[in-house]
Structure 1
């Protein structure tokens, strides 16, 4: 393990926006439990598609999209707050 100093753009809670040395733009640090939840959400969409349950797939995908939009919104707000453009 290597210890490094990072720049923290948001509070240090779940989904912190940080920039590691050598990177132009920050990224989002997703905690392991949050990553597992995202993966489970994708699996729910896939399982519903495999069953042919498009209503359930759409509902699950909608919830996943809302979670990702919130995460992206947090990232973009941190960039805006620090006067940074977006990498996309």
Structure 2
């Protein structure tokens, strides 16, 4: 562990390796940021999908109820008019 710390310190002091270490750190930060962004987007899309499913179910229930009530009204009119 101590040897690894010494080698990292040597690399940080070395002017040629400094930019490579910086680029590696930036690449790591970029990967973490991209992962977070993808996770947020995936979560949002999941929520939108759930909302659409619930909305579709509600519309289906609404139209089913409306059609059965209209059928009831039509039957009541037929009975009232003796048709």
TM-score, reference length from structure 2: 0.37
Q: Which has the larger radius of gyration?
A: 2
Q: Give the structure, 1 or 2, with the largest relative contact order (CA under 8 Å, sep 6 or more).
A: 1
Which is richer in helix? 2
